[in-house]
Structure 1
């Protein structure tokens, strides 16, 4: 009896300590956050940040969301919907993104996407320690490149039970000359001179299509998801190119994978077009569909009518399609 009471006491103490490491998040309501100190890198101090909703009673399954480039987790409707469908919800702001940006860092920069593997390992270990024995990964855009690249490194020891990809960044959205000549050249330079700036601030139209203050429906911190983006360096180009080349050869993951994209892309120019509200203006959806087929053995693909690049930020009927697709797919796991 004494041993049993000691075990119960230790279990309660562990639970209290785990919860105590979280603090209220900037999203408000019941969202919490926990910051992890990671080993220093070439820019100095590094952290990553796990955001979550409180555990559901007697629920041992969870979804971990990974954001895209120039991005962070702010999509409360996603977390709330996942909770409503019986999954615990977590989201990771990777190092140098969103809640994890530090003054000593160049936002969004990396020399290899492998730098994020430790962040995802940390998130998954924490989610498991909090009592979840079934974990799905959900990722958007660059997160949708990082996550299959990460899982490819875990073959034979797959830490998750399914992968959901929202417009994954599986290829550049440029013409033949850029993709075959310029990008490989810049990537090679990036190995030698990673801090060389190769692109300045970007076009704001995608931000305009999202933000409520312009033409969209959403509010978010534009210090973390910047309206004009952030200058890109050659080392980052190399990191993306390296991962895409691996993915495009076919990696054959053995977990179930759901891949979603808009039904159409539209070229972004400096001029505003209403088509920006109903198209992917960041990536080529045909590339997503083409290279998505090589990610694994159990692939489900769906195209979202009039979907934007971040499909869950599309207009209401399109994002409802996304949620139906995701939750119907999850029922089959």
Structure 2
């Protein structure tokens, strides 16, 4: 096997961050990012692995610095077809962010866990945002011996909207997913992205090629895969590790002014997260962050500080 991708190199985030290509079965690639502060990682604390959502990748330097500042070695993965891994995926004929089965991401997370263990760490705390929260929940369910604890940041546990609408959409994407999986069935609104990005008045600097404001096209095969795993979660998982599930205090509109986009969950329905938290299994603690955005780590202060403190205090008390 070609090991040329197994060396750490300087990451696009610059000083203090390194990246490593993870070679996956079938020729796919994911990218593991490591934060290596000058004062070094903590001793004896389990590493944290951050898993992003749809139309997303890891760019949250402040999150890495906060976690490492409490002594937890910090890693993040750009899953196949996302962010740092997108060029290899599209060059091989894939659509950005598109898979037909979320089970494929078990390979990405297995490879990341193996690489983190090679760095000399034991245990693993998963930190998943949005779609990443669904992916990490499924992974903790099938790899219970690998996961020490889990933090979920606004996890995607159901479609937003009325039950009747969700039912119709699901049947349509199941049918299209079988016969025409690349069919575009939806797109994201751009108001949330514009509220975040520095070029349109937001706080955050990131690559719009990897996280465009309007998102990547939502394709039938991908959404069918999401709905299958929503159904699996609805039947109940058997996650054994302690879990902290964090949400905003309000579900927001799909579009609106920046102040609304950043003080509510403008992407998902908070009630769905709360309703399905017990379906994870094990011990699940729910924390509500007043004024939090969909990505709680990108909320304006003071909600952002409250979220980070809540997560880090919970880790200190739990692991």
SS of 2:253 mapped into structure 1? coil
SS of 2:241 mapped into structure 1? strand
Task: Say which one has the larger Rg.
Answer: 1
Does residue 167 of structure 2 align to residue 180 of structure 1?
Answer: yes
Matches within 5 A, 1:1-333: 21-40=7-26, 45-54=27-36, 56=41, 58-59=43-44, 61-102=46-87, 103-104=90-91, 105-154=94-143, 157-199=144-186, 201-269=187-255, 271-272=256-257, 274-333=259-318
Q: Compute the displacement of 1:234 (Å).
A: 0.7
After TM superposition, the score normalised by the length of structure 2 is 0.92
SS of 2:49 mapped into structure 1? strand
Q: Deviations over 1:224-279 (max 9, x none)?
A: 0111111111101111001110111111311000000000011113x536322210
Greater strand content:
1
After TM superposition, the score normalised by the length of structure 1 is 0.88
Q: Deviations over 1:195-240 (max 9, x none)?
A: 22222x4311010111122232111000001111111111011110
Q: Compute the displacement of 1:27 (Å).
A: 0.3
Q: Compute the displacement of 1:191 (Å).
A: 2.4
SS of 1:253 mapped into structure 2? coil
Q: Compute the displacement of 1:57 (Å).
A: 6.3
In structure 2, list runs of 5 or more residues that go unmatched. none
Q: Which moved more, 1:295-304 or 1:272-281?
A: 272-281
Q: Compute the displacement of 1:58 (Å).
A: 4.1
CA RMSD of aligned residues (A): 1.9
Q: Deviations over 1:113-164 (max 9, x none)?
A: 011110000000111121111210001000000111122222xx42010000
Return the alpha-carbon distance in structure 1 between the equivalents of residues 223 and 229 of structure 2: 10
SS of 1:116 mapped into structure 2? helix
In structure 1, list runs of 5 or more residues that go unmatched. 1-16
Return the alpha-carbon distance in structure 2 between the equivalents of residues 23 and 208 of structure 1: 31
Q: Tell me what 1:4 maps to.
A: none
SS of 2:14 mapped into structure 1? coil
- Determine if contact 2:195/2:258 at 8 Å carries over to the other structure: no
Q: Which moved more, 1:252-261 or 1:175-184?
A: 175-184
Q: Compute the displacement of 1:323 (Å).
A: 1.0
- Determine if contact 1:59/1:88 at 8 Å carries over to the other structure: no
Q: CA distance change for structure 1 residues 273 and 100 in 2, over 3 Å: closer, same or farther?
A: closer
